């Protein structure tokens, strides 16, 4: 018969069978055996029970039953795309990293943008930080900048991360809100964690409701190190500056968009790339040395502080273009595994205690999320340069050692002997001198919780300041515990009295709370 323009066979119950021919490939099982009938399970008699020996049916259902993997514990909702990074000029005086050595050098990248708190199916326009994670497939291995669209973070030490995320995500008894920061647990945690106040100002700004991923900045947040071929180290902060400019929506638009099109941001990126309107960002560096570190008011290892661009200008060193959508969302966007620990020779860590904790967390969570130590064998995660090691076996092992040797040192020569260490070109940690008492301690300036929050607030235009005051008022109006509302206002008094007053009035507080006792005085003379 003929069905929607295609020759079909009709089965015993009148069902439609589309049939393979010269143009259409035959359907097979996962083992490659051709399938004769994909509409009827194998039965004992027309009205009889389905038979256990129906291998095709069992394989099909078995595979379907296991399609879901755990979503990311944070940044569950995201959208990815491929592209390239192009180096402007050689940076060999400051880093030995191969991707920065030759002007015009192009390096493949994969980028995943995300929200933080919402579950995988949540709406794109939630008021939230956006993840901005970039994987560079360099000739000396994969390098990831696992960043956000805000240059500071909530906490100074990774030991607080589970608390922050528990407080931000849905409350454990009621299971909501699923993608909102406007709830008691979140603001309770913020109000009891003074180090998070600077970030609280940033997240109440328009940056957390971006117009699209294409109009956002990105930041590596932590201070990293560049190390050149002579072993000289320079501190570096990473910035992504959108060539499209920066744009946000207003809250009223965000609320409507969430209802009308919860996929607004993914659709925007997909459509732009498919139409050939390829978004671009410049990679910028803030570079500084120990002298700057010594005279800077804050600790460069404190992820709740920025280094003002007036003090250390951002130097553009290359551009990134996103020019290709994924072929398959699950294979690429879901299975991609970013990790702050993925570094290449010429780039190194600092002792930022938030970064040090992240370096443990990503591998660990990815084993649980992707189900096997061999997730690096997936195409989106595999290096695109040659790689040779003695890691073997485990679930889904795809690249096992070739030849006899799976250990070293060994006596076997040639191919049989496998790879060898490379003291000259291999990754070497910068030999920083480290000494000190062991203890659960922080550096003193970590205690200045308000100066940079104030600096951020006063650097905003009147309209932007108004949006920050409205956002605090709106969010706190969803908090049902009066003490929590008042505690946030008490913090804001240390940031800016006028802001505190606007929020207190908006919330109709009967009495202005006393300012929270600050661990260090707020600097009011910082340049905006």
The residues binding ligand HEM (CB under 6 A) are: 72-75, 78, 112, 114, 131, 133, 146-148, 153, 158, 161, 221, 303, 336-338, 354, 357-358, 361-362, 365-366, 369
Specify the residue, 222 or 493, whose C-beta has the smaller distance to ligand HEM.
222
Distance CA 240, CA 314 (A): 10
Instruction: Collapse the DSSP code of 484 into the 3-class scheme (helix H, G, I; strand E, B; otherwise coil) and give the result.
Output: helix
Which residue's beta carbon is nearest to the bound ligand HEM? 131
CA–CA separation, 58 vs 234, rounded Å? 58
Sequence-separated (6 or more) residues with CB below 8 Å from residue 474 = 182, 251
Name which of 131 and 194 has its Cβ closer to ligand HEM.
131
Task: Name the CA dihedral angle for 365, 366, 367, 369, rounded to a multiple of 10 degrees.
Answer: 90
In whole angstroms, what is the distance from residue 140 CA to residue 94 CA? Answer: 17
Q: Give the nearest distance from C-beta 71 to ligand HEM in angstroms.
A: 8
CB of 197 to ligand HEM, least distance (A): 16
Tokens of 9: 């066979």
Q: Which is the catalytic residue, given 56, 82, 142, 148?
A: 148
Q: Nearer Cβ to ligand HEM, position 355 or 471?
A: 355
- Return the closest-CA partner of residue 101 out of 218, 226, 223: 226
Closer to ligand HEM by CB, 134 or 479: give it: 134
Q: Is 339 a catalytic residue?
A: no
Q: How far is the CB of 130 from ligand HEM (least distance, A)?
A: 8
Q: How far is CA 373 from the centre of its chain?
A: 20
Q: Where are the beta strands (DSSP E) in 228-314?
A: 233-242, 280-288
Cβ atoms of residues 325 and 81 within 8 Å = yes
Look-up: residue for tokens 């579950």?
119
Q: How far is the CB of 131 from ligand HEM (least distance, A)?
A: 3
C-alpha span between 498 and 46 (Å, rounded): 79
Nearer to ligand HEM, 365 or 470 (CB): 365
By C-beta, is 145 or 344 nearer to ligand HEM?
145
- At its nearest, how many Å lie between ligand HEM and the CB of residue 332? 11
* Least separation in angstroms between CB 420 and ligand HEM: 32
Contact (Cβ atoms closer than 8 angstroms) between residue 451 and residue 481 = no
In whole angstroms, the minimum distance from the beta carbon of 376 to ligand HEM comes to: 13
Calpha distance 213→322 (Å, rounded): 11
* Nearer CB in complex with ligand HEM: 148/374: 148
Distance CA 344, CA 106 (A): 16
Residue 295: CB atoms within 10 Å? 8
Q: How far is the CB of 96 from ligand HEM (least distance, A)?
A: 25
Tokens (6 digits) for 482:
């009066």
Q: How far is the CB of 178 from ligand HEM (least distance, A)?
A: 17
Cβ(323)–Cβ(82) under 8 Å?
yes
Question: Are the C-beta atoms of residues 187 and 475 closer than 8 Å to each other?
Answer: yes
**Residue number, 114 or 223, with CB nearest to ligand HEM:** 114
CA angle 78/309/471 to nearest 5° reads 50
Q: 304 or 522, CB closer to ligand HEM? A: 304
For residue 322, what are the contacts with CB-CB under 8 A and spacing of at least 6?
81, 82, 83, 111, 269, 273, 278, 279, 280
Determine whether 381 is an active site residue.
no
CB 281 within 8 A of CB 320: yes
- DSSP-derived 3-state class of residue 107: strand
Asked if 171 contacts 185 with a C-beta cutoff of 8 angstroms, the reply is yes
Please check whether residue 85 is in contact with residue 136, taking contact to mean a CB–CB distance below 8 angstroms.
yes
The catalytic residues are: 75, 148
């Amino acid at each position: 018969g003929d069905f929607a323009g295609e020759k079909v066979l009709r089965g015993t119950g009148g069902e439609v069978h589309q049939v393979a021919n010269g143009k259409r490939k035959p359907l097979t099982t996962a083992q490659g055996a051709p399938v004769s009938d994909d509409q009827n399970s194998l039965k004992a008699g027309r009205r009889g029970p389905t038979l256990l020996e129906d291998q095709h049916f069992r394989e099909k259902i078995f595979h379907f039953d296991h399609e879901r993997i755990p979503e990311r514990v944070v940044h569950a909702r995201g959208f990815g795309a491929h592209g390239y990074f192009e180096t402007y000029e050689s940076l060999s005086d400051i880093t030995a990293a191969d991707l920065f050595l030759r002007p015009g050098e192009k390096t493949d990248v994969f980028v995943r943008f995300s929200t933080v708190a919402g579950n995988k199916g949540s709406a794109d326009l939630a008021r939230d930080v956006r993840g901005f994670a970039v994987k560079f497939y360099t000739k000396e291995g994969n390098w990831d900048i696992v960043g956000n669209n805000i240059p500071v973070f909530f906490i100074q030490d990774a030991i607080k991360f589970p608390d922050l995320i528990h407080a931000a995500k849905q409350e454990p008894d009621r299971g909501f809100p699923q993608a909102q920061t406007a709830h008691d647990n979140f603001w309770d945690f913020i109000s009891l964690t003074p180090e998070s106040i600077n970030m609280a100002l940033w997240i109440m700004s328009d940056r957390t409701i971006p117009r699209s991923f294409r109009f956002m900045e990105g930041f590596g947040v932590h201070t990293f190190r560049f190390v050149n071929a002579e072993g000289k180290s320079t501190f570096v902060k990473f910035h992504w500056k959108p060539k499209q400019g920066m744009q946000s929506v207003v809250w009223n638009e965000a609320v409507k968009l969430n209802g009308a099109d919860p996929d607004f941001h993914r659709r925007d990126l997909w459509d732009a790339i498919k139409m050939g309107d390829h978004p671009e960002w410049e990679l910028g560096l803030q570079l500084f040395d120990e002298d700057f570190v010594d005279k800077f008011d804050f600790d460069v290892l404190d992820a709740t502080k920025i280094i003002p661009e007036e003090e250390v200008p951002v130097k553009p060193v290359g551009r990134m273009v996103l020019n290709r959508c994924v072929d398959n969302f699950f294979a690429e966007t879901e299975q991609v595994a970013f990790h702050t620990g993925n570094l290449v020779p010429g780039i190194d860590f600092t002792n930022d205690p938030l970064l040090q904790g992240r370096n443990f967390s990503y591998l660990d969570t990815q084993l649980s999320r992707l189900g096997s130590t061999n997730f690096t064998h997936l195409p989106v995660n595999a290096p695109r340069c040659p790689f040779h090691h003695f890691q073997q076996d485990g679930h889904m092992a795809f690249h096992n050692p070739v030849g006899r040797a799976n250990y070293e040192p060994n006596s076997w020569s040639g191919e049989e002997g496998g790879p060898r260490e490379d003291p000259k070109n291999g990754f070497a940690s910068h030999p920083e001198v480290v000494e000190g008492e062991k203890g659960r301690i922080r550096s003193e300036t970590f205690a200045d919780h308000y100066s940079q929050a104030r600096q951020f607030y006063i650097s905003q235009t009147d309209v932007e300041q108004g949006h920050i005051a409205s956002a605090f008022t709106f969010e706190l109006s969803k908090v049902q515990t009066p003490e929590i509302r008042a505690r946030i206002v008490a913090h804001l008094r240390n940031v800016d009295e006028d802001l505190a007053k606007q929020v207190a009035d908006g919330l109709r507080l009967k009495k202005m709370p006393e300012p929270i006792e600050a661990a260090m005085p707020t600097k009011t003379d910082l340049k905006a």
